[in-house]
Amino acid sequence: MARATVIIECGQTSGLGRVRRTLTLAAALEVQGFDITVVLSSMEGKSLVEALGFEARLDMPTDLSDDLVVIDTCSQSALEINKICCASRVSLVIDDLAERPVVCDYLVNPNLYAHGLDYSAYTIGRAFLGSDFTLVDQRFFRAAKSERDRKGIVVSFGGTDNGTLALPVIKALLERTDMPVFLPVPDYVEPISALDALVRAESSVHLIRAADMPSLLGASKVFLGAAGATVLEALAAGCRVCATATQPDQHKNVAYLPRVGVMSSEVYDPEILADMAVTALKDTAIAVPLNSCAAYNIATTISSHI
């Protein structure tokens, strides 16, 4: 059986978006007959990995020579990534920014803005770029409900936020709408006390631990939050999206989203974001074309290489 070692950066400093998108590819590789090993930078992503049907570990396998290696990290240098790629039989790097020139067999940039980046400094066997290769679990597409069956606003600034960013936005929303507000929180995050107090005081605000994100986004009207991987999941689930950059690597996404009719703000401003969400509630949902079979198409291509 072919082996695939999947290396993912996650946790308090980088969130969980990479876990969901990379394991979408891992699941497709598993269908192709690969035995999957998931290596995390932090066990804070362990429960999500297990919920998606895999086991997590922190230690790298000692021998990668027969393996496909999949790397989705943000803090590793090009030199560190190249060292891992060189030790493996076949390598695939998921790269958001085109700022770490690496040598790899395959490269995936699943973001909508990917075709506008310059990868000429990279040495790549084949690149999968843009909306045809968005690594979104098919469950998000299947979970999308009709407009009449949707309610509420999902507020999420990712697995790095303990409520410091979400709380002011939720307060601004409560001043503008009586629509329910849903706040998904990873199990490793301890919300600030002021957020807990607001949830107890306001019956329309719901804090959800270890949320089923496909079901939550598929039944909500608006996603309001960080411009990370969840933006694509929200679009796949049929949500209206309002996004802002809360991490340096999200500015390219924020700058591009208006081109496809998605509202975004370069700056985190609770009042601006709340106004955007109220406007979105009145607008027709934007249909952004995404390929629900992207992960399976990539996995099929790679399988022929092993």
pLDDT the model gives residue 65:
87
CA 27 remoteness from chain centre = 16
pLDDT tens digits, residue range 244-253?
A: 999 889 999 9
pLDDT reading at 1 higher than 80: no
Q: Enter the pTM of the model.
A: 0.95
pLDDT the model gives residue 11:
83
Mean of pLDDT values over 51-57 = 94
Cα separation, 205 vs 202, in Å, equals 6
pLDDT the model gives residue 148:
94
Q: 3-class secondary structure for 234-272?
A: HHHCCCEEEEECCCHHHHHHHHHHHHHCCEEECCCCHHH
- Domains in the chain, start-ordered, CATH in brackets? 3-136+291-303 (3.40.50.11190), 138-282 (3.40.50.2000)
